[in-house]
Each structure stands twice: as C-alpha cells, then as structure tokens.
Amino acid sequence: MDPIVVANKLTRQVNAPDGVLRILDNVDFSVIPGEAVAVTGASGSGKSTLLGLLAGFDVPTRGSVHLLGQDLGTLSEDAKAALRAGNVGFVFQSFHLLPSLTALENVVLALELAGVVQAEERAREILDEVGLAHRLRHFPRQLSGGEQQRVALARAFAVSPQILFADEPTGNLEQESGRQVADMLFNLRRDTGTALVLVTHDETLATRCDRVCRMSNGWVAPS
C-alpha cells in the first residue's frame, strides 16, 4: 500500500544567535492510509517541526515531503492549501478556533472551504457526535478548554480527511477532559479510517497508536 505521507532525508535548520541550529537532521518518515503514528520526544526534539513540514506549513532546508502523492516542494502555497482542503485535518494544542465564530460556524467554515454542500447539516451531525449539540451557538470564549478541543475535533473530522495531524491535542487540558478528547479522537479516527500523525509527550496516548516514533535531537529513532 502506498504511504499517504512520506518524508525523505528531511532536514530543517534555522539561524540562531550561536550559529546554525539543526532542528531536524535527515529524517525519513512515512505513514500508510489508516495508520496511526505517534511522534514523541522531549521538548525541542523537533516533533512540532516535523509535523509542520509534513502538513506543508513549513519548507524544509533539504529533503522532500510527499503528501497524498504530491511532492510538496513542487507546489505553491496556494496549491498546498488546496491539497489540504477536504483531505487533511488538524488539531492544535491551543485549539485555534476562530474567536468571532460560534462552534457551529467554525465547523461550517471548514466544510465550506472544502467545497462540501449542505455544510451546516453535516456540521450539526458531527458536533452532535462530539457531544456538543447543545453548544452550537456558543462562542469559543464561552466554552471550556475540553469543549473547545471537541469543536476542533469536529472541525477536523467533518470533512472526512484522509489524514489528520494532531499537535499535543490534550496538552492544554486537565486529565479528565484530556481523556475524553483522546477517546473521541481515536473513536472518530476508527470510524472514518483516517490516518493519524499524533505529536505528543503523553506516553499513554502514544501507546494507543499503531506505531510510535521517538525523536531525539532531530533524529527519529526506529520503532
């Protein structure tokens, strides 16, 4: 089976006050459709950088990323955005819901950008699935952290993405909310067959994935 995302010899370096800092160093990485892969490691090990590169948010210094069969290095920023729309989902540690939109509108916006018709109906369904049917008209600031992350999950899964990138999805939540969000994440993934790249330092969460990659100083240790 062809991988849904492949990174070859991925290197990312930045200029720091003490000279060039290599955040990722010749990383090879791949995920096949439907697979759940956890990326773990200490702070500063390069987990989030890897996630950003795989999702096409950032450009590698060297190496290549193929997402959904497309070489991201050959695509313009707009082409990468178009590739993401409807195919790639995201869940961030800080939720990143649009503060001026209600829970329902946040989900509808993602569906409309993906070109889904009857977006509102689909948004209501998925918000119901994450247990927020009674919070549709609430703004992010009126929701708890756990609820905000559930809206973010609904937004991510609403478009039935082929792959979901999740960056510390429970990192900002207390234990009980974190557990609920994690359960929902894995349940939705199972139901939709979506591949998952999960960046986390939570070992318990990582073990719920099919495979765990440990990062250390810009390297990915073989799992």
Partner 1 sequence: MSRNYWVWRRLYRDLQVSELRVLVLAVAIAVTAVTSVGFFTDRVGRAMTLRSAEVMAADVVLRSRSLIPADYVTKAKILGLDVAEVREFPSVIVVGEDMTLLVSVKAAGSAYPLRGALMIADQPEGESYSPGSGPVAGTAWGDARLWAQSQLARGATITLGHLDLTLTQVIKREPDRGQFLFDLAAPRLLIGLQDLGATGLVTEASRVRYRLLLAGSAQALDTYRRWFTRQQAEGLTEGIEIEGVGDERPALQSALDRAASYLGLASLSAVIIAGAAIALAAQLYARRQTDVAAVMRALGASQATLLQEFLLGLMLMACVGTLIGLVFGYLGQGGLGYLAGRALAVELPSPSVRPVLAGLISGLLMTLGFGLAPIVALRKVSVMRLIRRESSALTTSSVSLTLMAIAATTGLVFWQARDGVLAMWVLAVMIVLILGLVGGGWLFFAGLRKIRFGPSATRYVLSSLGRRSGIATLQLCAFGAGIMALLLLMVIRVDLLDSWSTSISPQAPNHFAINIQPLQRAAFESALETANLASQGLFPMVRGRWEKHNGMRVDHAAFSSPRAQRLASREFNLSVAEALPEGNTITRGSWFSPAKGRAGQWSVEEGLAETLGIVLGDVLTFRIAGEEVSGAVTSLRRVVWDSFQVNFFVIASPGLLVDRPTTYIGSFALPPARGAVLAGLIRQFPGVTVFDVGMLLEQVQEIIDQVSLVVQYVFVFTLLAGITVLIAAVQVGAHDRLTEMAILRALGAGRRRLEWGLLLEFLILGSIAGLLAALFSVLAGHILAREVFDLPFEPGIAVWLVGIGGGALGIGLVGLVASRSVLRNPPLTRLQWIQS
Cα 97 off chain centre by: 14
**One residue of 3, 11, 34, 58 binding partner 1 per CB under 8 A:** 58
Q: What are phi and psi of 176, to 5 degrees?
A: -65, -45
Instruction: Mark residues 165-194: x for contact with partner 1 by CB under 8 A, - for none.
Output: --x---------------------------
Asked if 162 is part of the footprint of partner 1 (rule: CB under 8 A), the reply reads no
Asked if 202 is part of the footprint of partner 1 (rule: CB under 8 A), the reply reads no
Residues 6+ apart with CB under 8 A from 25: 11, 217, 218, 219
Asked if 82 is part of the footprint of partner 1 (rule: CB under 8 A), the reply reads yes
Geometric angle at alpha carbon 40, from 37 and 43, rounded to 5° = 150
**One residue of 32, 75, 85, 136 binding partner 1 per CB under 8 A:** 85
Residue 149 is encoded by which pair of tokens? 């992350």
Q: How far apart are CA 89 and CA 165, in angstroms?
A: 6
Asked if 75 is part of the footprint of partner 1 (rule: CB under 8 A), the reply reads no
Select from 34-42, 63-71, 106-114, 214-222 the region that touches partner 1 (CB under 8 A).
106-114
Asked if 124 is part of the footprint of partner 1 (rule: CB under 8 A), the reply reads no
Neighbours of 43 (CB within 10 A): 7
Q: How far apart are CA 148 and CA 98, in angstroms?
A: 11
Residue 45 is encoded by which pair of tokens? 């090990």
Q: Are 126 and 68 in contact (CB under 8 A)?
A: no
Asked if 205 is part of the footprint of partner 1 (rule: CB under 8 A), the reply reads no
Is 34 in a helix, a strand, or coil?
A: coil
Least separation in angstroms between CB 108 and partner 1: 6
Least separation in angstroms between CB 204 and partner 1: 22
Geometric angle at alpha carbon 43, from 58 and 190, rounded to 5° = 70
Q: Are 55 and 84 in contact (CB under 8 A)?
A: yes
**One residue of 28, 71, 73, 100 binding partner 1 per CB under 8 A:** 100
**One residue of 27, 39, 51, 163 binding partner 1 per CB under 8 A:** 51
**One residue of 70, 113, 124, 201 binding partner 1 per CB under 8 A:** 113
Closer to partner 1 by Cβ: residue 142 or 207: 142
For binding to partner 1 (CB under 8 A), which residues are involved? 48-49, 51-52, 55, 57-58, 77-78, 81-86, 88, 90, 92, 94, 96-101, 105, 108-110, 112-114, 119-120, 139-141, 155, 167
